[in-house]
Amino acid sequence: MFDTLIPRTNRVHGSRLSTILGSSVALRTYALGFLFLAVPCKLVAEEPVSSSALRATLQRHLEAAKQAEQVRDYARAAEEYKELLSLRPQSAEICQNLGLVYHLQNRFQEAIPVFERALTLQPSLWGSSLFLGIDYYKTNQFAKALPALERALRSNPKDAETEARFWLGVTHLALRQFPEAIDDLQKRLDRSPNDIEVLYHLLQAHSQYSTELFKQGWGGDSDPARAYQDQANVQTGLTGQVLERMKKLDPNSYRIRQIEGEQFEKQEQYPKALEAYKSAFDAKPELPGLRFAIGGVYWKTRQFDEAKRWLEDELKTNPHHAMANYQLGNILVYRHNSAEAIPHLEQALFAQPQFMEIHRDLGKAYLQLEQYDKAIDHFKKVAEAEPDDDTIHVLLADAFRKQGRSEEESAEQKIFQELNRKKLERAQQGVQKSP
């Protein structure tokens, strides 16, 4: 019974990590704007006269890269820029352009060291700082994203403000730094008051902050508890104001449909959630996160074939999506496809190292693969983090039994029995106290 799938998303902070990617179309256009600023002519012109063959080679690769960009063949453009770098390894501008074509292919992990190299060569390249921060965000490295985005803003506050402010806001949101997220997103909104994307993420910031404040003040009568409750009420009111503003702008917006889906999902009205999410998807199929939202509802309702299809589609364009990786890995473990599950679970763990369900599923995967030491390591992490969880000790006992470690197996069985006894006592006391 303990091998069954039990969705536990309520234990995850920021379960929408990596879905907050803004307008992918707008961002691609912004990246293209940097690319179409030609690499400075000094790349070729400053070569000595005696290097005419080298000048011709540089010019040929540069023209080939630009032609490839014009037809959106970014893979070929990347190869041309790599050839250019082999000839001019100290060119920060070539590094930046190589990073941009990686970015446009969603090869964010490969883009990061290239942008870092560009900034080492020329720290004033604010475009490299900006896209380095964005790519850190997209690979769930939120703490690294902040200084890169702040550096872009400092380097060129006039040109970087619009994009850097948005990405600072969503990065603070991912880090659950809600006041900072609200401040950045509000500043971004001041520049574009009718931007539905900014409004959507501002609504998320107010809503999540309200939830956090309610938790801190829950059930208390002290002055600090009441202060938290008052602040939570303020944030709830601001959430409603932003939602009304969005509805006035476009009552049929895909973001409005997405919000409706999120509300239905919280209320466990899953058919209605699917209907709303699919309506948003039909209106904006390129929007990151919608495939995950649909797949996540199918996952919660144990419709695993549909869930797997939608989650895999999300990961094709957003390979670092933490919860999509977790849910897909979870399904694969359930189906005993453990070797395939482990890379997805490891990717999810990188983004959410405190989410114990990932450790649980990694332990199950290694158990299926008869790698018992690795399984035990992951199970022990769950047992340490969640000392009242009796089921993890069943899994530990099973792993020890398969290793022939009978004393450890017996000890885990005893822990399970004692925790299970206490759980039953608490349940009985709850029944006796109920009217």
pLDDT in tens, 358-413: 999 999 999 999 999 999 999 999 999 999 999 999 999 999 999 999 999 999 99
- Give the separation between CA 375 and CA 302, rounded to whole angstroms: 25
Alpha carbon distance 128, 114 (integer Å): 9
CATH T-level topology, domain 14-158:
1.25.40
User: So where are the chain's domains?
Assistant: 14-158
Min mean pLDDT across 92-101, 196-205, 425-434 is at: 425-434
State the pLDDT confidence band at 24, using cuts at 50, 70 and 90: low
Q: Taking a C-beta distance cutoff of 8 angstroms, is the pair 367, 375 a contact?
A: yes
- Secondary structure (H, E, C), 110-137: HHHHHHHHHHHHCCCCHHHHHHHHHHHH
Q: What is the DSSP string of 233-296?
A: HHHHHHHHHHHHHHHHH-TT-HHHHHHHHHHHHHTT-HHHHHHHHHHHHHH-TT-TTHHHHHHH
State pLDDT tens for residues 187-244: 999 999 999 999 999 999 999 999 999 888 887 778 888 898 999 999 999 999 999 9
pLDDT at res. 9: 34
Torsion sign, CA atoms 270, 272, 273, 278: positive
Give the integer Cα–Cα distance in Å for 287 and 284: 6
pLDDT digits (tens, 9 = 90+) for 331-348: 999 999 999 999 999 999
Name the nearest CA neighbour of 326 among 317, 315, 339: 315
For residue 80, the one-letter residue type is E
